[in-house]
Amino acid sequence: MTSTVNYPPLHDNKRQLIIALGIYLIYTLLLLVANVLNYLGEKNGTLETMESIAGMIMGLLAIPIFCIALPLWLARKWNLEFSFWPRRKNWLLGVTIVVLYIFLVNQQSLTRLLTMDISAFDFMMHFVGTTLFQVSYYPLFAVLLLPVIRRNFGLGTGLVATSVLFAVYHLAQFYYFPAGTTLRFQIILFASFLVGLLMYLWTENLILTMLAHNVGGSIELAVNGALFNQVDVLYVVAVIIVSGLFAYMIVYELRHRGRLYRTKWWLQTEIEYNQTQY
């Protein structure tokens, strides 16, 4: 079914915007608390205890509730437009373009990675371990914040504002990711996420966009000496949360393929647009 976008009344748009930004703020504050706990633990010699508390805050509250469950639930309740797997676009073409993009952007890092003493098994363990921090936030930013901001202010503002919010939340990660607090990395985070959102809106494929983000991120972490290949409690939590997220997206797409399709919400090339007219 194809239709133009039918937005709810203006007062509902504003209420949804306030709620969505509130969820983002709570999520960011919880991450800030976790980082502060680790920082204090390192200063006063109680790091092991503080790490456990911070891990519970992130793994049991911030990420599964405020970053995944609530955004997905509200997106369905508010009838927001999102797509985990393309219904009208050629998925194979999308995969081809994204793979080419990943290769070109990460070519130098890939060359360095191949010269490092990292086995394929260790890198796959590392790839899975990084998903909790590089995949889990897409329901909050791409499925909830982007559509809500776009309803209120339009596509351009939605893309820019969502990318800014993505970069800014990394300021709360000053302990886990200190580089993200620098101006250089804030710009990189903004630009890379903006590209990711555009990729998502063109491919209509959030699963592909998430995997592409994690491939690039895991490569950069590895070549910079951060290898997450140790199986601990946080690793197991990451596997459970991310596996549940991907399972939900796959099942949802299989069960709701016939839902309303808002053609004008997604980005199209001129060729694709002309084809939809016939």
CA distances from 260 to 87, 143, 145, 254 (A): 11, 16, 20, 14
d(CA 120, CA 127): 10
Nearest in space to 17 (alpha carbons), one of 152, 160, 163, 197: 152
**pLDDT per position in the chain (278 positions), as tens?**
444 445 556 568 999 999 999 999 999 999 999 999 999 999 998 988 998 899 889 988 999 999 999 999 999 999 999 999 998 888 888 889 888 888 888 888 888 888 888 888 888 888 888 887 888 999 999 999 999 999 999 999 999 999 999 999 999 999 988 888 999 999 999 999 999 999 999 999 999 999 998 888 888 888 877 777 777 777 888 889 999 999 999 999 999 888 877 878 888 754 444 444 44
Residue type, 201: L
Residue 2 sits at φ, ψ, to 5 deg, of -115, 140
Domain span at residue 253 reads 2-275
d(CA 149, CA 156): 10
Q: Is the dihedral of CA 154, 159, 164, 170 positive or negative?
A: positive
Is the whole model's pTM more than 0.85, yes or no? yes
Number of structural domains found in the chain: 1
